[in-house]
Each structure stands twice: as structure tokens, then as C-alpha cells.
Amino acid sequence: MSIIRSIIDIALRHAEGRRVTAVEVGVGRWSNIEPSCLDFYFQGMIAETSLEGASLRILEVPLRAECAECETQFEPEDMVFYCPACGSRLTEVISGKELRVKAIEVAYED
């Protein structure tokens, strides 16, 4: 709920009073956010606000990690974070955690 509240706040701030028709968000696979739930609650929370009628477009960002030693980038499979190239244990998640409002679409004014 607090995440959706933030999405709405960011969208309204950038809309500067214009009517918002769509909100595009990037949701990392390595965040604890389930896209279908996000959409369901978003629609519920924008009812009777100036975002009413806006659609939510969710772009899922895959989980990617990078080896700190050989810099190989990989998508961890089965939750194993060892580097597939050199076997190093030192790896960093480089994408997949993010929750971002990427863009909004606003209606042209008459």
C-alpha cells in the first residue's frame, strides 16, 4: 500500500494538474512486489482521485548479478549466486531490486 501511495504521489507531482492516462513502472523480479497485486490495488486506490481511469503498465526487470572478481554478468538460477564463470562467491545483484516510476502519459489539453 505504501508503495502504491508513492507511485500515485510521484505521478501526480509530475502531471502538474494534467490528466494522467497511464503510469509506467519498472518492477524488479528481486523485489517483493507481485505485479498482478500491484495493478489490482493501484486500480482500487486511484478510484475517485485525479488519476482515475489511468492504466498501470508494469515492466518486469530481471534479476541480474555481476561477479566482483571476473565481472561476468549472469542471471542467478535456482537462487544460486556463485559466479558461473569463475565460481567466485563475491557477487553483487546489479538489477532486479528496483521499483521505479519510469514514465507517465498525460492527456493533451483542449
Partner 1 sequence: MKIEIEENILEANDTLARQVRSTLDARQILGVNLLGSPGAGKTTLIESTADALQDRYALGVIEGDIASSIDMERLQKRGLPVVQVNTGGLCHLDANMILQALRPFDPDRLDALVIENIGNLVCPADFDIGHHVTVLVSSVPEGDDKPHKYPIIFRSADAVVLAKGDLLPYIDFDLARYRDALAALNPDVPLFPLSCRTGEGMSEWLAWFEEQIAADRG
Distance in Å, CB of 55 to partner 1, minimum: 13
Please tell me whether residue 58 binds partner 1 under the rule CB under 8 A.
Answer: no
> Three cell numbers at 55?
492504466
Q: Which ranges constitute the DSSP H helices of 16-99?
A: 35-46
Helix count and strand count (H, E) for the chain: 2, 6
Please check whether residue 103 is in contact with residue 21, taking contact to mean a CB–CB distance below 8 angstroms: no
Distance in Å, CB of 93 to partner 1, minimum: 8
Distance in Å, CB of 83 to partner 1, minimum: 10
Candidates 47-55, 66-74, 96-104; binding stretch for partner 1 (CB under 8 A): 96-104
Q: CA nearest 54: which of 90, 83, 94, 15?
A: 15
Contacting positions for partner 1 (CB under 8 A): 1-3, 6-7, 9-10, 14-15, 25, 30-33, 78-82, 89-91, 93, 98-108
